[in-house]
Amino acid sequence: MAQAAEAKKRVRTKEKTVDRDTLMKAYRSMLLIRRFEEKAGQLYGMGLIGGFCHLYIGQEAVVVGMQLALSLGDEVITSYRDHGHMLATGMEARGVMAELTGRSGGYSHGKGGSMHMFSKEKNFFGGHGIVGAQVSLGTGLAFSNMYRGNDRVAITYFGEGASNQGQVFESFNLAALMKLPAVYVIENNKYGMGTSVERASASHDLSKNGAPWGIPGAQVDGMDVLAVKEAAEQAVAACRAGKGPYLLEVKTYRYRGHSMSDPAKYRTREEVQMMRTQHDCIENARHRLEELDVEEKAFKAIDDEVKGIIQDAADYAQSTPEPELSELYTDVMLEG
Amino acid sequence: MATQILMPALSPTMTEGKLAKWLKGVGDDVRAGDVIAEIETDKATMEVEAVDEGKLARILVEEGTEGVAVNTPIAVLSVNGEDVSAEPAAPAPKAAVQPPKAAAEPADPKAIAEQGARGQRKDALEAAPAPEKAPSPEKDWGPTKPTTVREALRDAMQLEMRRDGDVFLIGEEVAQYQGAYKISQGLLDEFGPKRVIDTPITEHGFTGLAVGAALNGLRPIVEFMTFNFAMQAMDQIINSAAKTLYMSGGQMGCPIVFRGPNGAASRVGAQHSQCYASWYAHVPGLKVVSPWSSADAKGLLRSAIRDPNPVIVLENEILYGQTFECPTDEDFLVPIGKAKIERAGRHVTLVAFSIMVGVALKAADALAELGIEAEVINLRSLRPLDTATIVESVKKTNRLVTVEEGWPFAGIGAEVAMQIIEQAFDWLDAPPVRVHGVDVPLPYAANLEKLALPQPDWVVEAVKKIV
């Protein structure tokens, strides 16, 4: 009880007027991701999903808050912890779940898996399994916007672990030199696999990691979806105005292990419980909506709708067939 | 309603584990995300989290039980608070009873093996025209003029950049400096800094940037000052450029050209003298070409720029200044995947690429004086490899000698020889012979360097062994 009261108090300290519809939308998106990931964890446990599977539970506010600030056509690229990003960009839960089960109805027809999905239609560029590689690629997406002279912005997500890769700094330099419309989002969930950020980075404020190149940065509370949205709007607006790249360090937390096979012994159960009970992004949003007099039945309706989508996705992911054996040889090369 | 809690798989390889400890007891309320039990796998102790909400109604597997198979029901959760202590638990989800792995097993393992073999053959056939078919003759492009390889490469980029506004050149010193080896001379003047882009010395970064731009539909030409520096960017070339089409189920292609000098120059030492042909040719999803003459350079680079796939163009610094006759036809192209017979002969087939074509031709001159007529094949493309042309030639000469500057182990010569063994074994009158760079890092000293790189007389000696 005391914890809940404290959480409410935290919410109240925000004085800004909140657009109820926007927050409802964010609440629904976050819940969809959470339920999706819980179901994915369950299907993994049943042996229906294999290999690596990195869940996004706890971090939902980051991608949902960012997405609220984007416009149609903006590009998104991220690492291997990517299910939430795909759902946030509007990709179908069915297609994502069916890719996790390695079935023909998946976004990559079962040939990519959890870490490798793409949607040209939604401008989602993956899904990358090599830590940090997506940062240079995302810089290239921003470059293509500048080359074409459009006003699109490319959003590149990476973890605080990836932030130490050399090509991240190479990318910062290139983006600043060329004034590219690139928003870099460091999702700082405090642990790069089992190594805490304090043990991995001599920089204590990752939002300043672009400072040598004059890249403006901000630290954001990643458990507060509206705080993320606000910071994202500022970053995206600066990019669209042609001011060059922008860096956000979003402080977040993953409740689950790094991947399914991570026993997470590098942190205490109390630490995880404390984040879950006091800082959960979905609970935060719900409290705030309750204060805006959203009634229980409205939450129930969202719950039911989300449950339906996830159940449908799980059913589809198990009923759509495995890819044809001939698929082994397709998509290696394009004709030409 | 009751839901069974199943023994979960907690790693990609787990099939069973020990149920070490229950953290919730019968009658306890459980919320989604609560840790309910601990399981020991072969690697670690893992926590099991509840997925559904409810009351823990029954425990089916006591703590301390070892060897609990994945998907075994371990407990029953009552979802709406009803008493399920006596009733049998609801049947486990269908998938748990019939794991998908079983469903995935082919009805007939032999069939899948055959499918694989067929597919591979299909792959090989797609890579080149069918060996049974006679290779198509080289097209006559009409008038030519003397052109250096350097000019030919520049002309190719210039023509393609005029043709398609999405094509741009990016790399170190390509713009204001006009190219470290002066390949991009004049391009900045014509196309401006938007399309001829100087980068800092940052191979990993600018290669990733270019690949990202290609995934978004642009057509970059990435110049590596030399391919030795592309090792810094190898991950982006292989993992991002070559594999994304496949990983995206065919959605996202990567039309990009990586080009620059490859192999030994002269006295530049081990780190700057290496042939990457077999490295890149190994990778499905990449095309690899390696021009020798000016016509090769111009025609292949134009084809590479138009190709919707990532193409590696392995040039050679020593060849840049050499002059060859080159077609002047505006539409001149050399198709990727097509070798060229530079000299016809009937006693032995010499297969070479890049600067070694010149070495092979010199050797053929010397062999002619000994009364041996060598046929010299200029591969031009390494992947896809034009095995049809080589097979056709070996069927005539019955002997094969490969010539390459790179190291022998797992090299291009090894691959060519194996293709011939597989496809024309009965026509061989002698084992294939490989001529190659010596299997050491390239030394600096002039005399040692000369000793390490294939010379025409090495080829002559190799031929004499089998003719």
ipTM of the complex: 0.91
* Contact yes or no for A167 and B205 at CB 8 A: yes
Q: What residue of A is the nearest CA neighbor of B46?
A: A263
Catalytic residue among B203, B317, B404, B405: B203
pLDDT > 90? residue B290: yes
Mean pLDDT within B402-431: 98
Which of A55, A104, A135, A144 to mutate: most B Cβ within 10 Å? A144
Place of tokens 């290609």: B214
* Contact yes or no for B47 and A326 at CB 8 A: no
Q: Is B282 a catalytic residue?
A: no
- pLDDT in the model for residue A184: 98
d(CA B374, CA B361): 9
Q: Which residues contact B255 (CB under 8 A, 6 or more apart)?
A: B214, B219, B307, B308, B309, B310
Q: Which residues contact A212 (CB under 8 A, 6 or more apart)?
A: A172
* 3-state DSSP of A15-80: CCCCCHHHHHHHHHHHHHHHHHHHHHHHHHHCCCCCCCCCCCCCCHHHHHHHHCCCCCCCEEECCC
pLDDT > 50? residue B353: yes
β-sheet bridge partners, residue A185: A157, A248
A18-69 pLDDT tens trace: 789 999 999 999 999 999 999 999 999 999 999 999 999 999 999 999 999 9
pLDDT > 80? residue B103: no
- pLDDT in the model for residue B40: 86
pLDDT > 80? residue A9: no
- Reported residue count of chain B is 467
Residue B83: burial class (beta carbons within 10 Å; 0-12, 13-18, 19+): exposed
Nearest CB to A133 within list B9, B47, B235? B235
B420-439 pLDDT tens trace: 999 999 999 999 999 999 99
Q: How far is B9 from chain A (nearest CA, A)?
A: 4
Residue B181: burial class (beta carbons within 10 Å; 0-12, 13-18, 19+): buried
d(CA B378, CA B370): 22
Q: Three-state SS for A317?
A: helix
| Token couple for B226 | 């030399």
d(CA B410, CA B17): 43
Give which of B96, B56, B61, B98 is closest to B76, Cα–Cα: B56
Contacts of the segment A263-271: beta carbons below 8 A, 24+ positions apart: A263/B44, A263/B45, A263/B46, A263/B47, A264/A194, A264/B47, A265/A194, A265/B44, A266/A191, A266/A194, A266/A195, A266/A196, A267/A191, A267/A196, A269/B35
Which chain B positions have a beta carbon within 8 Å of A106's beta carbon? 249
Question: Which DSSP string corresponds to B395-433?
Answer: HHH--EEEE-SS-STT-HHHHHHHHHHHHHGGG-SS--E
- CA atoms lying within 13 Å on the CB side of residue A36: 31
d(CA A262, CA A41): 13
- pLDDT in the model for residue B99: 36
- pLDDT in the model for residue A11: 46
- pLDDT in the model for residue B126: 43
* Contact yes or no for B215 and A52 at CB 8 A: no
Q: Which DSSP category does B461 fall into? A: H
Mean pLDDT within B162-167: 98
* pLDDT band at residue B117 using 50, 70 and 90 as cut-offs: very low
Q: Among positive and negative, which fits the CA dihedral B107, B111, B117, B121?
A: negative
Q: What residue of A is the nearest CA neighbor of B96?
A: A46
Q: What residue of A is the nearest CA neighbor of B41?
A: A261
Mean pLDDT within A310-315: 98
- pLDDT in the model for residue B51: 77
- pLDDT in the model for residue A262: 87
d(CA B186, CA B174): 10
- pLDDT in the model for residue A4: 45
* pLDDT band at residue B15 using 50, 70 and 90 as cut-offs: confident
- pLDDT in the model for residue B95: 39
Q: Which DSSP category does B45 fall into? A: E
Give phi and psi for A307, each to the nearest 5.
Answer: -55, -45
d(CA B427, CA B37): 68
Which chain B positions have a beta carbon within 8 Å of A136's beta carbon? 204-209, 211-212, 236
Q: How far is A292 from chain B (nearest CA, A)?
A: 26
d(CA B405, CA B265): 11
pLDDT > 90? residue B49: no
The bridge status of strand B311-315 relative to strand B287-289 is parallel
* pLDDT band at residue B128 using 50, 70 and 90 as cut-offs: very low
pLDDT > 90? residue B54: no
A71-116 pLDDT tens trace: 999 999 999 999 999 999 999 999 999 999 999 999 999 999 999 9
Q: Is B126 a catalytic residue?
A: no
Mean pLDDT within B361-380: 98
Query: Is this structure's pTM higher than 0.95?
Result: no
- pLDDT in the model for residue B164: 98
* pLDDT band at residue B135 using 50, 70 and 90 as cut-offs: low
Which chain A positions have a beta carbon within 8 Å of B209's beta carbon? 136-137, 139-140, 143, 171, 174
A138-194 pLDDT tens trace: 999 999 999 999 999 999 999 999 999 999 999 999 999 999 999 999 999 999 999
Which chain B positions have a beta carbon within 8 Å of A335's beta carbon? 308
Q: What residue of A is the nearest CA neighbor of B209?
A: A140
pLDDT > 80? residue A313: yes
Q: Which helix H or strand E contains B357, and what residues bound it? A: helix B355-369
Q: Three-state SS for B166?
A: coil
Q: How far is B397 from chain A (nearest CA, A)?
A: 33
- pLDDT in the model for residue A19: 87
Catalytic residue among B272, B342, B404, B415: B272
Which chain B positions have a beta carbon within 8 Å of A326's beta carbon? 115, 119
Q: What is the mean pLDDT of chain A?
A: 94
pLDDT > 70? residue B84: no
* Of A130 and B102, more confident: A130
Find the range with the poorest average confidence among A237-241, B234-238, B266-270, B361-365.
Answer: B266-270
Q: Which DSSP category does B236 fall into? A: I
The bridge status of strand A195-196 relative to strand A191-192 is antiparallel
A231-278 pLDDT tens trace: 999 999 999 999 999 999 999 999 999 988 888 889 998 999 999 999
Q: How far is B78 from chain A (nearest CA, A)?
A: 17
pLDDT > 60? residue B110: no
- CB atoms under 10 Å from CB of A241, counted, come to 10
Calculate the CA dihedral of residues B291, B390, B263, B161 and round it to 10 degrees.
Answer: 20
Nearest CB to A48 within list B47, B100, B213? B100
Which chain A positions have a beta carbon within 8 Å of B11's beta carbon? 260-261
pLDDT > 70? residue A3: no
Q: What residue of B is the nearest CA neighbor of A73?
A: B216
Question: Which DSSP string corresponds to A93-119?
Answer: HHHHHHHHTT-TTSTTTTSS-TT---B
